[in-house]
Amino acid sequence: MNHTLHAIDYGIILFFLGLTLYFGFIFANKQKTTQNYFLAKGKVPSWAIGMSLLATLISSVTFLGYPGEGYSSNWILLVQGLMVPIVLLGTIWFIVPIFRKVIGLSTYEYFEKRFGRFARYYSSSSFILRQFSGMGTVLFLMAIALGNLTGQSPLLIMLVIGGIIILVNLKGGIEAVIWLDVFQGFMLLASGITCLVVLLYSIKGGFSEAWQIASSKGHTGFGPYELDLSKLTFIVMVINGSFYAIQKYGTDQTVVQRYLTAKTDRQAIRASLMGIFLTVPVWMMFMFIGTLLFVFYQQNPLPEKVQADAVFPYFMMTQLPTGIVGFILSALISAAICSLSADLNSLAAVGVEDYYKVLRPNQSDESYLKASKWIVVLSGVITLLIGALYLSTGSEGVLGIVFTLYAIFSGGIVGIFLLGLLSSRANTQGVNIGIFVCILFTAYAFLTSTQIGLGDQKSLLLDLGAYNFPHHKLMLGVYSHLIVIVVGYVASLFFPAPNCDRNLLLKGWFEDRKKK
């Protein structure tokens, strides 16, 4: 069994890293305007955009977090992803054409047109916080995994991969990111299927025995199914997943930007559906890999020091042949690069459109393009610092942490979006009041449910006894959206009805459909 990487594996990894840089440089000469840099409008076919959505949404978190969760528990955290196609099949048809009609580049332009500048900056700042917390996690997971496998410093790995990601974005823009996503999306699928097949053949008794062992040990299913919002249950994940689907595909710049790159509304919708129906099976595959890892190590003792998030890398190093290990690690690195490249590009788009153009209006497009590239570098450096912070503090149960951070930083964004889309009566004043109440609630819920400290010496940031936030943290994001909807709408009734652009409303989309 191999316990260290072979020279062949290193060679394969270096080859794919070189190929990644090549993708950045072959599109370098096309990045002369901000439109090309951020949208490459009409230059990319819908199937490639769909593959790009897959690669964007699959990162080191999926590659290591899902197997880690499948190994240590059942499939409950997969419920969030399973809700995405259910919700999106009913909404993608109007979300895509409305955005393509009313915004130029930034998703949060819609929020300003509907509810004013405060709504725009509140929603864009929430997006930025979510991105940085998620990006730091992606880098952390990848660096820890590769550090354990290669014996190299995780910080050094983080710096090298981070530098490549920044360089690809600087040179190639969104077009390089999308085509890199396509190539690495196929790598991801191939590596996942390879690991799945190897595991099934490695388990004594095959699939039937694996299912029996996993089921008897509580490692299948999506339970607990009780109606209890205070802990992680099926109903909590269903509710959270429904809002997550709308937030990710309706208010997240990384995804919405893909809609804008397509040539037509129809192509954008087709790409979105393709991305959704590719991503969910990949999430399921990596979660099931974790379940099979649990069964495999029930039959073959695992060293006690190996934690859940490190089980998959340990299996790769000890059970897979030379060459295959290099290919799968290249896919892991590629997943991180694809996800982070898309994130950096979208952060730069929001930085320029929502902030820099306000501070420096009426500048040349060349000036804005230069600013975009500086924002890419700055965002990359901040991400590296966050990843380094994670390295210094350590982390357990990464997938759960990411979902929790996402819920906290969601900040009622879906509530603002749904009010804007569904209600012509909701107005700027009412929504601003809703946002203010949402901020107060989020602060209260976070402080009274978050423990700090080491080992058993943990205490709440703010302990109000019986008045502490009583439910699971994933419900925090759900309640924040509901608060904005209810408080925002009721408060709007105390102010004059707005003169609302019909193109910003779902009702306007229906009217246009009837005319066709």
Tens-place pLDDT, residues 375-396? 999 999 999 998 888 787 765 4
Q: Of residues 61 and 11, which shows the higher confidence score? A: 11
Q: What is the pLDDT of residues 170-191, one digit of tens each?
A: 888 888 888 888 888 888 889 9
Percent of the chain topping pLDDT 90: 55
Please give the Cα distance from 77 to 241 (Å, whole number): 9
Q: Which of 476, 427, 426, 406 is nearest to 447 (CA)?
A: 476
Q: Tell me the whole-structure pTM to 2 decimals.
A: 0.90
What pLDDT score was predicted for residue 406? 57
Percent of the chain topping pLDDT 70: 95
Helix (H) / strand (E) containing 451: strand 451-452
What pLDDT score was predicted for residue 308? 81
| CA distance readout (Å), 320 to 6, 298, 342, 461 | 12, 18, 31, 45
Helix (H) / strand (E) containing 460: strand 459-460
What pLDDT score was predicted for residue 453? 65
Residue 58 has pLDDT above 90, yes or no: no
Residue 148 has pLDDT above 50, yes or no: yes
The lowest-confidence range among 1-10, 41-50, 285-294, 377-386 is 1-10
Phi and psi based region of residue 471 (left: phi greater than 0; alpha: psi -120 to 50; beta: remaining):
beta
Residues 86-109: b if buried by 16+ CB within 10 A, e if exposed: ebbeeebbbbbbbbbeebebbbbb
What pLDDT score was predicted for residue 93? 94
Q: Which single residue is written with the structure tokens 């820099």?
A: 356
What pLDDT score was predicted for residue 2? 47
Contacts of 84 (CB under 8 A, 6+ apart): 241, 244, 245, 248, 249, 276, 279, 280
Contacts of 150 (CB under 8 A, 6+ apart): 4, 5, 157
Please count the residues of the chain: 516
Within 10 Å of residue 459's Cβ, how many Cβ atoms? Answer: 9
* 224: preceding bond cis by omega (within 30 degrees): yes
Please give the Cα distance from 70 to 444 (Å, whole number): 32
Q: Of residues 426 and 181, which shows the higher confidence score? A: 426
Kindly state the tokens that stand for 181: 């996503």
Please give the Cα distance from 508 to 512 (Å, whole number): 6
C-beta of residue 271 within 8 angstroms of C-beta of residue 53: yes
Q: Of residues 477 and 291, which shows the higher confidence score? A: 291
- Average pLDDT along the chain: 88
Within 10 Å of residue 235's Cβ, how many Cβ atoms? Answer: 15
What pLDDT score was predicted for residue 398? 53
The lowest-confidence range among 66-75, 165-174, 341-350 is 165-174
Residue 221 has pLDDT above 90, yes or no: yes
